[in-house]
Structure 1
Amino acid sequence: MTLLDGKITSKAILDNIAAEVAQRKAQGHKVPHLAAILVGTDGASETYVASKVKHCQQIGFGSSLIRFDAEVSEAELLAKIEEINQDADIDGLIVQMPLPKHISVDKVTETISPAKDVDGFHPINVGRMNKNLPAYISATPLGILLMLEHYGIATEGKHCVVLGRSAIVGSPMSILMARNAKVGNCTVTLCHSKTQNLAEHTRRADILIAALGIPEFVKEDMVKEGAIVIDVGITRVADASKKSGFAIKGDVAFGEVAPKTSFITPVPGGVGLMTIAGLLYNTLQAAKGAYFPKK
């Protein structure tokens, strides 16, 4: 069993990005700039945004954090997004989720310019990805692709089973693993809450990607010998033995599943770190105008 270490992999990717940013700066080119909008004071959101800003600083990106109270109107938030769309200094824009219930996530997503949509959620980027055209890919699926590539894991002809059909991870992951690309060319089965005889599907997987959000759902008897297991889940579970009062669990029961696998991601320390690497990779591409020509 080999551990797919997100800390090592993300550092390698971020080091490469930092080197390219330094080269761009030395050549007089623009330094990438990521803007983040945070609505309200949700603790997890505060942590995620702070981590993104910190990583921007570490690799030489510019960054801006725009804060709004939870009571901000939808119209005011959308107006700010439109303003950032027109700001030539800002290359990428993310709006941290979740948002207050009075604000439409779809409206926010569709208002962000596709050229600055480094989260990869805009319908234009989703559609381009689906057609295997250059596009910003949702950061978590992109991070998984970068991890598989980093470890030189061959995917062509393999059977990939994806657990979960969310628009952010499961659905795009199923498309990406099936498409004709260096990391791809799999036969893909997409499973979800209504799938019958679920374990029969997972036991056939050469590559199993668990993105359900249910702690330790995948047990040893659901995984075939030698499988590659990617655990996207990250859930706080009460644990009195921990100083914090909780433990972080993935969707896979790591202790019992890991010995059976050829490769597996840990939680924490796996896919979560790759998500930030994917986001910053997208932001570098935005600064270069790689997918949408600069105006």
Structure 2
Amino acid sequence: GRPGLVGCTPLGVMRLLERYDISPSGKRAVVVGRSTLVGLPLSLLLARKGVDATVTLAHSRTADMAAVVREADIVIGAAGQARMITADMIKPGAAVIDVGVSRTESGIVGDVDYAPVAEVAGFITPMPGGTGPMTIACLMENTLTAAQLQGAFEG
């Protein structure tokens, strides 16, 4: 097909996995959140040929969310529900990436209950400060790609 752009946050998560040598191939990935901006496109990126994760897209109506998440080698929180992913839901050694954002009385928090989950996970991103910089970097990448697709750099 025609070249195009990938959403900044899903692309940032994929770049983060690449950077830290976390290969999704043959692994179970659970994306918690089905938004059209993050959850859905990220699940498609993880499942595509060449990446080859087995993906479950979980959401607010997923039955026994804890059991579903517990099966995952890679967990991505993208629901925007403060601290909904807890340590008892995480398989020991799993990679946990938090892109969910919620404002609470104590400040900005993610979907992952960070400190307890960090004790179980093999890899974890904080919120804030984890995936946000990757999103910004991918915004810059997409800006350059869009300019190239428009012919901005031709003779």
**TM-score, length basis structure 2:** 0.92
Q: Which of 136, 139, 143 in structure 1 is aligned with 2:8? A: 139
Q: Does 1:150 align with 2:19?
A: yes
| CA deviations over 1:213-247 (Å, ceiling 9, x no partner) | 011111111111000001011222113xxxxxxx2
Aligned partner of 1:187: which letter?
Answer: T
Q: Does 1:268 align with 2:128?
A: yes
State the match for 1:294 in structure 2: 151
Aligned partner of 2:143: which letter?
Answer: T
Q: Does 1:202 align with 2:69?
A: yes
What is the aligned residue count?
Answer: 152
Distance, in Å, in 1 between the alignment partners of 2:3 and 2:16 is: 19
4+ aligned runs moved over 6 Å, structure 1? none
Q: Which of 43, 49, 52 in structure 2 is aligned with 1:174? A: 43
Cα distance, 1:146 vs structure 2: 1.1
SS in 2 for 1:209: strand
**1:50-61 equivalence runs, <5 A:** none
State the match for 2:114 in structure 1: 254
Distance, in Å, in 1 between the alignment partners of 2:4 and 2:49 is: 15
Q: Report which of the two structures shows the higher radius of gyration computed on alpha carbons.
A: 1
| CA deviations over 1:167-213 (Å, ceiling 9, x no partner) | 000000110000013xx210000111111111111000000001110
State the match for 1:112 in structure 2: none
Distance, in Å, in 2 between the alignment partners of 1:206 and 1:225 is: 9
Distance, in Å, in 2 between the alignment partners of 1:196 and 1:235 is: 23
Aligned partner of 1:284: which letter?
Answer: L
Structure 2: 5+ residue runs without aligned partners?
Answer: none
SS in 2 for 1:260: coil
Aligned partner of 1:191: which letter?
Answer: A
Distance, in Å, in 1 between the alignment partners of 2:64 and 2:19 is: 33
Identity between Structure 1 and Structure 2 (%) = 48
Q: Say which structure is richer in helix.
A: 1
| CA deviations over 1:67-107 (Å, ceiling 9, x no partner) | xxxxxxxxxxxxxxxxxxxxxxxxxxxxxxxxxxxxxxxxx
State the match for 1:285 in structure 2: 145
